[in-house]
Amino acid sequence: MLNKLLITRLGLSFRPLFISLLMLANSLYLTGQTFKPAKSSFEARLLNIEAPSNEPFRYTTTLTNGSSQTVTYNLNAQLPEGWQISYRVEGSQVTSLQMQANKVQEINIEINCPLTAKPNTYKIPLKAISPTDTLHLDLEAVVKGSYALQLTTPSGRLSDEVVSGNNKEILLQVKNTGTLPLNAVELSAQLPSKWEATFSPSTIQQLEPGKSTDVKVDLRVPDKTIAGDYAAKFDVKSPNSTADISFRMIVKTSLLSGWVGMLIILLAIGLIYYLIRKYGRR
């Protein structure tokens, strides 16, 4: 009975010590995990991005300096011919950056391809080069085609004449010069004060690559518009592309207005002559 009592008391006295040792071991383990040096790496959230050839490919990447010293990394990319790349850190464009030990830095990358780039998947190998290490990152840019609009006239002529107070019909031509379909193509105009323009049609629901559509513009010039040259601007836009042209309008007065003006001038001259003849002798 006495032996059992001694063992129980000894067990109770060693329990707090045992628990303390466990807590100390766990704390040392967590401390080791917390301060374990990170591995140097060059990574991206998205490795594969798809876009038309007239829009940039944007990547968000992370560069990690896992060494115990400050390191300068030079950024380098192997691009297809005619492609361009830019690196931005906190809004500033860079080609290299200095990183302190165990630092992680976000780098925004923008890649632009030529408008003539063929639809395909292009591999973009990147390197972050330091005196002690070279980190690799392989990106992919998927070119799915291009969006492009052209606005002109069937004849290529960009000027016309109109009589003050009359309407003038102008024929425009909207063409899809890209390689992808365009949807919801809308037309608008920027005109001199009080001028009006009506488009038929005003919206093109879909325009296939290489296809064109003629659009009639009913241009209304207000009465008493002074004769002269005026500039009208016509715009066409879709969610993916825009185009515009400047159109020169030559406003002339009507023939009747011209004769009325001549008559008024002749009457004024006749009145002056009459007054001179009547009162000039006195």
Residues 46, 89, single domain; the answer is: yes
Same domain, 114 and 196: no
Residue of higher predicted confidence among 270 and 113: 113
- The residues that bridge with 98 in the sheet, in sequence order, are 72
- Average pLDDT (29-34) is 48
pLDDT tens digits for 118-164?
899 999 999 999 998 999 999 999 999 889 999 999 999 999 999 98
Across 14-18, 179-183, 270-274, the highest mean pLDDT is recorded for 179-183
Mode of pairing for the β-strands spanning 134-143 and 48-51: parallel
DSSP 166-204: -EEEEEEEEEE-SSS-EEEEEEEEE-STT-EEEEESSEE
pLDDT at 276: 73
123 and 217 part of one domain: no
pLDDT score of 225 more than 60: yes
Centroid of chain to Cα 125: 25
Q: Is residue 88 part of a domain?
A: yes
Q: Determine the length of the chain.
A: 282
Q: How many helices (H) and strands (E) does the chain have?
A: 2, 19
Encoding tokens for residue 121?
Answer: 């998947």
Interval 29-39 mean pLDDT: 54
Residues 105 and 157 in one domain: no
Q: Give percent of the chain above pLDDT 90.
A: 65
3 occurs within a structural domain: no
Domain range for residue 78? 41-143
- The number of beta carbons lying within 10 Å of the beta carbon of residue 129 is 15
Residues 54 and 101 in one domain: yes
d(CA 25, CA 143): 55
What is residue 18's predicted lDDT score, i.e. its pLDDT? 53
More confident residue, 237 or 116: 237
**In this structure, what token pair is assigned to residue 219?**
């241009």
Using an 8 Å Cβ cutoff, are 125 and 34 in contact? Answer: no
Q: Which residue has the higher pLDDT, 79 or 27?
A: 79
Residue matched to tokens 């594969």:
48
Domain assignment present for residue 239? The answer is yes
Residue 185 lies in a domain: yes
d(CA 173, CA 167): 20
* 126 strand-pairing partners: 77, 137
201: exposed, middle or buried (C-beta count within 10 Å: 0-12, 13-18, 19+)? Answer: middle
- The tens digit of pLDDT for each residue in 226-243 reads 889 999 999 999 998 999
Local confidence band at 17 (pLDDT 50, 70, 90 cut-offs): low
| Number of domains observed in the structure of the chain | 2
Write the CATH number for 98.
Answer: 2.60.40.10
Which uninterrupted H or E stretch holds 11?
helix 2-34
Domain boundary among 143, 159, 178: 143
231 and 170 inside one domain: yes
pLDDT class for 261, splitting at 50, 70, 90? Answer: low
Question: Who contacts 99 (Cβ-Cβ below 8 Å, separation ≥6)?
Answer: 63, 65, 70, 71, 72, 73, 105
Is 69 within the bounds of a domain? yes
Within this chain, do residues 216 and 248 fall inside the same structural domain, yes or no?
yes
Q: Do residue 54 and residue 132 come from a single domain? A: yes
| Average pLDDT of every residue of the chain | 85
| Residue 166 covered by a domain | yes
227 shares its domain with 249: yes
| Of 165, 175, 169, 271, residue with least CA distance to 227 | 165
* pLDDT band (50, 70, 90) for residue 264: confident
Q: Are residues 158 and 246 in the same domain?
A: yes
Domain check: are 116 and 206 in the same one? no
pLDDT band at 181 (very low <50, low <70, confident <90, very high): very high
- Of 143, 167, 190, the domain-final residue: 143
Q: Is 16 part of any domain?
A: no
- 53 and 139 belong to one structural domain: yes
Express as a percent the part of the chain with pLDDT over 70: 79
pLDDT higher than 70, residue 260: no
Q: Which tokens belong to 85?
A: 């790349």
Structural domain includes residue 21: no
